[in-house]
């Protein structure tokens, strides 16, 4: 079947709502198999409308989020930790209602949070407890929950594949998976092939992002290492572009895009998708 390619809706918009439903058909027209719907503004998510638009376009859907300070599973305040579980469960329910089976991202702590010193065991335990309850709820709805390691400037807790696997073991639920991102790996990992090999048995999603978040193939990511490992594992899951071209106030803090990386988002995505498919063809033919 091969890899199924997704595109993050933030390639075009900084806020998902019914005003952006047209992007679902647009993603299909550009050649993508799925569109990744962001759930950060869960109150704006119309899951039934997303499901209907995806069915009309003939495209799949997956979902992701990044917890905020108000929904932080590792917060010192137990009330915030409780709200984090309520929020993550709502995300899982929205994921299922839109017809998706994968919900992933920064689901273990507030994005951008910094602490004094190294994480303590309590942070790991709090994250694991929240995600265990979330995963059990998700299992009943047929949803897999993915842990995405991100770089040190965006998370204090899970920066590497090994740390994601550690948290997965602490959670101890069968529907918890790993979601890698090459952009973050370029900052945190010693190489690309090794972590991809480690994650492969548990991988639910892979953001195939370039080192500067531009089009894959135009930076320093070791794409041969990644695709070689995916081919060895016979990976046939979801991999997606999380690339950005436009600067906006809403996304500036998270993406830190201060220059134009392509002539347009569509050009970046076309170029990137074509490159990734060439890499897949090259390595999977050799496997």
- Find where tokens 């050799």 sit: 286
* 205 neighbors 62 (Cβ within 8 angstroms): yes
* 158 neighbors 189 (Cβ within 8 angstroms): no
* Torsion angle (degrees, nearest 10) of CA 145, 205, 180, 228: 140
Collapsing DSSP to helix, strand or coil, 24 comes out as helix
3-state SS, 73-90, equals CCCCCHHHHHHHHHHHHH
CB atoms inside a 10 Å sphere around CB 211:
16
Residues serving a catalytic function are: 148, 242
Q: Which residues contact 120 (CB under 8 A, 6 or more apart)?
A: none
Separation between Cα atoms, residue 42 and residue 188, nearest integer Å: 30
Q: Report phi then psi at 278, rounded to 5.
A: -65, -40
CB atoms inside a 10 Å sphere around CB 80:
18
* 236 neighbors 280 (Cβ within 8 angstroms): no
For residue 156, how far is the Cα from the chain centroid?
17
Separation between Cα atoms, residue 97 and residue 51, nearest integer Å: 7
């Amino acid at each position: 079947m091969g890899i199924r390619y997704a595109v993050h809706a933030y390639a075009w918009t900084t806020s998902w709502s019914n005003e952006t439903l047209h992007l679902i058909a647009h993603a299909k027209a550009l050649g993508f198999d799925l569109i990744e719907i962001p759930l950060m503004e869960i109150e704006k998510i119309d899951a039934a409308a997303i499901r209907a638009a995806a069915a009309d376009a003939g495209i799949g859907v997956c979902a992701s989020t990044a917890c905020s300070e108000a929904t932080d599973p590792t917060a010192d305040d137990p009330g915030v930790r409780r709200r984090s579980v309520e929020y993550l469960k709502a995300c899982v329910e929205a994921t299922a209602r839109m017809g998706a089976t994968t919900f992933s991202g920064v689901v273990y702590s507030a994005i951008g949070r910094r602490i004094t010193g190294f994480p303590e065991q309590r942070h790991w335990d709090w994250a694991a407890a929240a995600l265990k309850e979330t995963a059990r709820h998700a299992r009943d709805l047929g949803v897999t929950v993915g842990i995405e390691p991100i770089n040190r400037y965006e998370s204090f807790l899970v920066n590497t594949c090994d740390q994601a696997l550690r948290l997965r073991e602490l959670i101890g639920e069968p529907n918890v998976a790993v979601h890698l991102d090459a952009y973050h790996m370029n900052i945190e990992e010693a190489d690309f092939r090794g972590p991809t090999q480690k994650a492969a048995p548990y991988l639910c999603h892979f953001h195939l992002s370039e080192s500067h978040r531009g089009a894959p193939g135009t930076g320093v990511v070791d794409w041969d290492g990644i695709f070689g490992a995916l081919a060895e594992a016979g990976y046939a899951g979801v991999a997606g572009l999380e690339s950005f071209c436009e600067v906006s106030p809403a996304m500036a803090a998270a993406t830190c895009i201060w220059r134009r990386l392509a002539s347009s988002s569509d050009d970046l995505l076309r170029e990137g998708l074509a490159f990734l498919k060439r890499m897949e063809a090259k390595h999977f033919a050799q496997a």
